[in-house]
Chains A and B, each alone.
Chain A
Amino acid sequence: MSGKNFKMLSNPFNLQNPVTVQILGICSALAVTVKLKPAIVMGLSVIVVTAFSNLVISWMRNSIPPRIRIIVQLVVVATMVILVDQVLRAFVYDVSKQLSVYVGLIITNCIIMGRLEAFAMGNKPWPSFIDGIGNGIGYAVILIVVATVRELFGSGTLLGFKIVPQAFFDAGYVNNGMMIMPTMALILVGVIIWIQRSYFKQLNEKE
């Protein structure tokens, strides 16, 4: 993989992160991060959908009539999402029940439409595919970080396994009920943005 392509893959992890820098896809980031497992599955689903819609749209980009391009993009994204939803229902039924409507709502996830418009419409298929994976991972990373904190402090477990020892509970420790609420996810995303911006000064707006 060339240096340029690698940069395209790794940029969205940090300086171009879709969630913390571009503030896209916040809605689902709040909704599916109570437990780690749905967050991971949601992250994977978004990676698959962004990567393949970018690929398909980029491949068709010269034959798409500009006047109906948004409709075409929506059709492609919706097709991908329905396929992902069907596969989840067939093979990871319990997770697909937890994700419920949010898989369907990937269709409206701004990250995907944003990447299609900004990147796939003007670039070759392979770089677009890489860009899609990069942005999908950038989204998934934030989901996983938020979900790890929320599950650990909200339920005392990770991926369903008990992490906080029983002795703590016997000594009077209690799970933080706030962590279960979507509000806390928003606060956590805020904290991540804060840390990121104080560490990478170039993200701060000019005074």
Chain B
Amino acid sequence: MRNFSNTYIYTFSIVMVVIVALLLSLAAMQLKPFQDKNIEVEKKQNILASVHINSTPVDAVDLYSKYITESFVLNNKGEKLEGTDAFTIDLKSELSKPASQRLLPVFVGTLDNGSKAYVVPLRGKGLWGPIWGYISLQPDMNTIYGTIFDHQGETPGLGAEITMDWFEKPFEGKTIFKDSTEFVSVKVLKGGAPDGDPHAVDGISGGTITSKALEAMLDTCLVQYKTYFLNNRQ
């Protein structure tokens, strides 16, 4: 076996690392536009799904511009802010700001029958990582029209069930205000929601922590829009 001097070993490592670093940063820069496009398309698909419009990665952009007719940004007093594109807002960084400085995006979908749905993004902490989603409200700003949830690493078969239809479907028709003015959000109840409770859905057996995290996510994200919802109901 050949003997290598220490100088050689150091030079070898340094040269190797520099070459690898150059190669990787070049690849990352070249591929970034494609990756960003994928993330944008996925976001559009999610927003569309929350108003019950199925899309594929191919037609999502067209469908989005057809159905999502308006989007705007609010502050927590329910006033519209100018100059920011709602689509580019990163919810994670907004939620780390104090409540009064947060930018709150709203997407308005106009459905085939002409009625509107107001889509609000959600984000929270699950058991193992972030959970997020979109929730759409009917024009009364009270009744839930549709939801879609997703997660990064919840337990398959337990917490990960939040992405399933059987979990998302029961949210439809639930209301987030009690007696039309008191904000109560929607509870996700362990052991199942009582029949006919308009503010609760069934939790997931074995997925209690994720269920509770989802309930907290709904509450913290929706309560920020409370003033806007109360002032703009139709």
Complex Cα spacing A93 to B56, Å: 12
Taken residue by residue from 19 to 37, chain B's Cβ proximity to chain A (1 for < 8 Å, 0 otherwise) reads as: 0100110011001001100
* Pair B9/A67 contact, Cβ less than 8 Å: yes
* Pair B27/A86 contact, Cβ less than 8 Å: yes
B8 on the A face (CB < 8 A)? yes
* Pair B1/A75 contact, Cβ less than 8 Å: no
B132 to chain A, nearest CB (A): 14
Given A83-B27, A87-B31, are A75 and B12 neighbors across the interface (CB < 8 Å)?
A: no
Set B13, B28, B42: member contacting A93, Cβ < 8 A:
B42
Number of interface residues of B (CB under 8 A): 24
In this complex, what residue of A is CB-closest to B13? A68
* Pair B57/A93 contact, Cβ less than 8 Å: yes
B9 to chain A, nearest CB (A): 5
* Pair A79/B24 contact, Cβ less than 8 Å: yes
* Pair B4/A65 contact, Cβ less than 8 Å: yes
Complex Cα spacing A63 to B9, Å: 10
* Pair B24/A82 contact, Cβ less than 8 Å: yes
Given A75-B20, A90-B38, A93-B57, are A67 and B4 neighbors across the interface (CB < 8 Å)?
A: yes
In this complex, what residue of B is CB-closest to A82? B24
Complex Cα spacing A67 to B1, Å: 11
B61 to chain A, nearest CB (A): 14
* Pair A90/B24 contact, Cβ less than 8 Å: no
Given A79-B20, A89-B35, are A63 and B57 neighbors across the interface (CB < 8 Å)?
A: no
* Pair B28/A86 contact, Cβ less than 8 Å: yes
B17 on the A face (CB < 8 A)? yes
Residues of B within 8 A of A67 (CB): 4, 9
Residues of A within 8 A of B35 (CB): 86, 89-90, 93
Number of interface residues of A (CB under 8 A): 22
Taken residue by residue from 134 to 176, chain A's Cβ proximity to chain B (1 for < 8 Å, 0 otherwise) reads as: 0000000000000000000000000000000000000000000
Taken residue by residue from 21 to 65, chain A's Cβ proximity to chain B (1 for < 8 Å, 0 otherwise) reads as: 000000000000000000000000000000000000000001111
Considering only residues 105-164 of chain B, those with a C-beta below 8 Å from chain A are 153, 157
Secondary structure of the B contact surface, majority rule? helix
A80 to chain B, nearest CB (A): 10
A114 on the B face (CB < 8 A)? no
A110 on the B face (CB < 8 A)? no
A102 to chain B, nearest CB (A): 13
A66 on the B face (CB < 8 A)? yes
Complex Cα spacing A97 to B174, Å: 31
Given A67-B9, A86-B27, A93-B38, are A72 and B4 neighbors across the interface (CB < 8 Å)?
A: no
* Pair B38/A75 contact, Cβ less than 8 Å: no
Residues of B within 8 A of A100 (CB): 153
* Pair A65/B8 contact, Cβ less than 8 Å: yes
Given A66-B1, A89-B35, are A83 and B17 neighbors across the interface (CB < 8 Å)?
A: no
Considering only residues 39-96 of chain B, those with a C-beta below 8 Å from chain A are 39, 41-42, 57
* Pair A79/B31 contact, Cβ less than 8 Å: no
Complex Cα spacing A34 to B2, Å: 48
Q: Find the residue from A64, A68, A75, A90 having the highest chain B CB count within 10 A.
A: A90
In this complex, what residue of B is CB-closest to A96? B38
Residue pairs across A and B with Cβ atoms less than 8 A apart, 5 shown, are A63-B12, A68-B9, A79-B24, A89-B31, A91-B34
4 A-B pairs besides A79-B24, A86-B35, A89-B38 with CB distance below 8 A are A67-B9, A75-B20, A93-B35, A93-B57
Shortest 8 CB-CB contacts between residues of A and residues of B: A90-B34, A93-B38, A65-B4, A90-B31, A65-B9, A86-B31, A79-B20, A89-B35
